[in-house]
Amino acid sequence: MISATAQRRHAIDLDDFTAEEIEEILETTGSMKEVLSREIKQVPTLRGRTVVNMFYEESTRTRISFELAARALSANIVNFTARGSSVEKGESLIDTVRTLQALGAEIVVIRHSQSGAPYLVARHFNGAVINAGDGRHAHPTQALLDLFTIHERLGQIRDLKVVIVGDILHSRVARSNLWGLTRMGAQVTLCAPPTLLGPATYWTTTWPEVTISYRVDEALQGADVVMALRIQKERMQAGLLPSLREYSRAYALTPERLAGLSEKTLIMHPGPMNEGVEIWPEVVTAPNAVIEEQVTNGVAVRMALLYRLAG
């Protein structure tokens, strides 16, 4: 029997992933992590296949980890950045994708500042499309690596209390994590000042299970996982925050604020961090912070997804 999940062509958001498919990916990620722990960190699985990283927006960890993931599977990986390409001569996204296809691309990994850009690419490309972050819409591989990290550390996702704190309004990481976490049975609390959350009904109609809180000390009580998000100044209109100082005073993850939590509570951040704004340096280096592990796990998760889509 062919399961529906075996036929997935693209990974654009987690909204169309079942719990079963997510579990399978997390399991494959474990095997990929084992490959990466070997002396020779490479398997021939995707030998001869071509992956193109198409990055229209800045990135460090996501771009490099897709590259490392493709290489660990022996795929050919080409990095395309809008700067220095024919995009600067006015070539459209669709023409660019068609060109890459003509050059032999089979999997396209795309990051774009425009929400929805990966759907457009998927309509004009015969291969697989992986979304590496589009506007404020989605960042599925970040959510998968977060789920993997939580599961690896705490042995479960179901019934955990996960508090997401920060600039939720502009965050694609929050949106993809909401799909993934709720589908896996976690209890999610969103915590932000009202201007960085937007209308509460938007969240509660899309994800009826979520709890909204405007007070971080209240929200943090009993948390199993605390995920801080970056204040995304580049996506922000003027006036949403009185000042970064005031934001920090009311919402930053400081050692004092986290003092009441269990020592098992995981502290996460997708990076890049504004240390001293949304998270304190002492929290970043605390024993229960898994921020670097998230980055490391990103390679194995992306291997698992490339493998699945190339299949």
* By CB under 6 A, residue 172 contacts ligand NCD: yes
Nearer to ligand NCD, 127 or 133 (CB): 133
Residue 271 is labelled as binding a ligand: yes
Give the one residue of 137, 175, 230, 302 binding ligand NCD; rule: CB under 6 A: 230
Site string for ligand NCD, 5-34 (x = CB under 6 A): ------------------------------
* By CB under 6 A, residue 173 contacts ligand NCD: yes
Nearest residue to ligand NCD by CB is 230
Shortest CB 39 distance to ligand NCD, Å: 28
Nearer to ligand NCD, 61 or 257 (CB): 61
CB 137 within 8 A of CB 116: yes
Question: What secondary structure, in 3-state letters, does the chain show?
Answer: CCCHHHHCCCECCHHHCCHHHHHHHHHHHHHHHHHHHCCCCCCCCCCCCEEEEEECCCCCHHHHHHHHHHHHCCCEEEEEECCCCHHHHCCCHHHHHHHHHHCCCCEEEEEECCCCHHHHHHHCCCCEEEEEEECCCECHHHHHHHHHHHHHHHCCCCCCEEEEECCCCCCHHHHHHHHHHHHCCCEEEEECCHHHCCCHHHHHHHCCCCEEECCHHHHCCCCCEEEECCCCHHHCCCCCCCCHHHHHHHHCECHHHHCCCCCCCEEECCCCCCECCCECHHHHCCCCECHHHHHHHHHHHHHHHHHHHHC
Residue 61 is labelled as binding a ligand: yes
Shortest CB 55 distance to ligand NCD, Å: 11
Nearer to ligand NCD, 66 or 280 (CB): 66
* By CB under 6 A, residue 140 contacts ligand NCD: no
CB 242 within 8 A of CB 270: no
Site for ligand NCD in 142-161 (CB under 6 A): 142
Site string for ligand NCD, 107-136 (x = CB under 6 A): --------------------------x---
Nearer to ligand NCD, 198 or 271 (CB): 271
Question: What secondary structure, in 3-state letters, does 170-219 show?
Answer: CCHHHHHHHHHHHHCCCEEEEECCHHHCCCHHHHHHHCCCCEEECCHHHH
* By CB under 6 A, residue 177 contacts ligand NCD: no
Nearer to ligand NCD, 50 or 142 (CB): 142
d(CA 55, CA 119): 15
* By CB under 6 A, residue 62 contacts ligand NCD: yes
Give the one residue of 232, 254, 288, 296 binding ligand NCD; rule: CB under 6 A: 232
* By CB under 6 A, residue 271 contacts ligand NCD: yes
The b/e string for 50-63 (b: 16+ C-beta within 10 A; e otherwise) is bbbbbbbbebebbb
Shortest CB 102 distance to ligand NCD, Å: 29
Nearer to ligand NCD, 112 or 230 (CB): 230
Nearer to ligand NCD, 167 or 224 (CB): 167
As annotated, the binding site includes: 61-62, 89, 111, 139, 142, 172, 230, 271-272
As annotated, the binding site for carbamoyl phosphate includes: 61-62, 111, 139, 142, 271-272
Contact residues for ligand NCD, defined by CB under 6 A: 61-62, 133, 139, 142, 172-173, 230, 232, 270-271
